[in-house]
Amino acid sequence: MTLPARLGLDTACVLYLLDEPRSRRGAFIEADVFGAPGRSVVVSAVGLSEFLVRLFRVANAEEVTAAREAFEALPGMTIWPIDEDVTREANRIRAETGLRLPDAIHVATALVAGAGAFVTNDARLGSVPVGLPVLVLDDLLQGA
């Protein structure tokens, strides 16, 4: 499957790349998401928060800073703020689907940022109509 030029990305997918770069998931995220020429990747500010909270539990301040810089420096990466448009869209998604707030914010961010699809590894999200294609990473890997 050809991925769109602009993708929304769930936190877990970034973690596969940073934590498990040699795994099949990490390799796919590196090559097919961040390695594609001209690709832009949008991650919600909630994604950065989810990434950092894990680190604050196990790392010192210097390690957290280095990891955050690595996260922000991924090719084509944009960390999208939770603004009024994202908030409005997330609330609409929650009302229509019953998704939890963090999931709704991730998807709303992708929609507001003009992503052509949202990549996650949460199979639950893959079956919820949210207004754009939701691609489940493990399903993409089966087709690769």
Q: Per CATH, which fold does 6-143 belong to?
A: Rossmann fold (3.40.50)
pTM, 2 dp? 0.93
Q: pLDDT, tens digit, for every residue of 122-142?
A: 999 888 899 999 999 999 999
Boundaries of every domain in the chain: 6-143
Q: pLDDT, tens digit, for every residue of 67-120?
A: 999 999 999 999 999 999 999 999 999 999 999 999 999 999 999 999 999 999
Coil, strand or helix: which one is 106? helix
> What average pLDDT does the structure give for the chain?
93
Q: Which amino acid is at 97?
A: T
Q: How far apart are CA 76 and CA 72, in angstroms?
A: 9
Tell me the mean pLDDT in the region 38-56: 93
